[in-house]
A and B are shown apart, each in its own frame.
Chain A
Amino acid sequence: MADELDPAEALALAKGARDRVAARAGTPAWYAPLYGLCCGGLVAGAGMKQPLGLAIIGVSLAAVLLLYRTWQQQSGLSVSGYRKGRTRTIALALAALLVMLALGGFELSTRFGILWAPYACGAAAALTGALASLAWDRAWLAELAGDVE
C-alpha cells in the first residue's frame, strides 16, 4: 500500500473502511424482539406487586446487559446507545416513553386498582422497545454509510 495518498484516494479509503464496518454492524434479527421483551419487563415490573415486580425488573436489566454483551462479542464492536447523533434522540425518546409507561402502569394499578394496567403498559413498552431498537439500528447504519466525519 502506498504511503502517500491524494485527498480523493484518502477519502475513498476512509469511506470504504466505514462501509465495511457498516456491513457487519447491524444487530441480528432476534435482537430487537428480545430487547422489546426486556423493555416490557422493566415497565410491567414497576407496576406489579412486590417483590415479584422488583424481581422482574432485575431479570429484565440483566437480560438487557446479556443481550448487549452477546452482540458485542459477536460483532467485535461496542457502541453507546446514547452516542451523539440521531441515535441519541431515539434512545432518549425511548427512555422517556418507558418512564411514562412505567409510571402510568404503577399509578393505574396502585391508585385506581386497575391491576391489568402494568401488563398493558408492559406490552406497549415491548412493542415500542422493539421498534425503537430497529430505528436505532437504521439510524446508526445510515450514519456509518454517510460522509466520514
Chain B
Amino acid sequence: MTIAGLDPVIHAPVRLQICAILSATDEAEFALVREETGVSESVLSKQVKLLEEAGYVRVRKATLASRQRTWLALTAAGRDAFAAHMRALTRLAAAAANGVAA
C-alpha cells in the first residue's frame, strides 16, 4: 500500500480492469478477460503473472469439453486489496471533486 491507500500492483490500467472483472465473479476465463481488457495474450499473461506473484490472483487450468482452458480468480487477499483500492479511489475522487488535497 502506498500514498492514500492506493495499491501500485492494482492501479495499473490493465491490472485494474482484470481485478474489476474478477471481482464480479468467482472465476473468469482467460480468453474473456483478454477480450474485455483489449490487450494481447502475452500482455495479459504478464499482467496476470504480476498479480499472481502479489498473491492477488489464482490461475487454474482445466479441461472443459475436451478443450484446455485457463481460469482466473481473485484470491481472498486480492478481493480485500481490490476493495481497499476502490475505497481509496472513491475517497480521492471525492476529494478532488471538492477541491480538497488528498
Contact = CB atoms under 8 A, between A and B. Distances in A.
Contacts of A7: 89-90, 92-93, 96
A9 to B, nearest CB: 9
A15 B13 CA distance: 12
B9 interface: no
A14 B86 contact: yes
B24 A22 contact: yes
User: What is the predominant secondary structure among interface residues of chain A facing chain B?
Assistant: helix
Contacts of A144: 24
Given A76-B32, A78-B26, A149-B86, A11 B93 contact: yes
Interface string B8-33: 00011110110111011111110110
B75 interface: no
A78 B24 contact: no
A14 B36 CA distance: 11
A80 interface: yes
B24 A10 contact: no
Interface string A70-94: 0011011111100100000000000
A13 interface: yes
Interface residues of A, number: 34
Contacts of A21: 21, 24-25, 28, 32, 36
Given A7-B93, A21-B25, A73 B65 contact: yes
A78 to B, nearest CB: 4
Contacts of A17: 16-17, 20-21, 36-37
B23 A148 contact: yes
Interface of A: 1-3, 5-8, 10-11, 13-18, 20-22, 24-25, 69, 72-73, 75-80, 83, 143-144, 148-149
Given A17-B16, A149-B23, 19 more contacts: A5-B13, A8-B97, A10-B13, A10-B16, A11-B89, A13-B13, A13-B16, A13-B17, A17-B36, A18-B21, A21-B25, A25-B24, A25-B25, A76-B31, A77-B25, A79-B26, A83-B26, A143-B24, A149-B83
Interface of B: 11-14, 16-17, 19-21, 23-29, 31-32, 36-37, 64-65, 71, 83, 86-87, 89-90, 92-93, 96-97
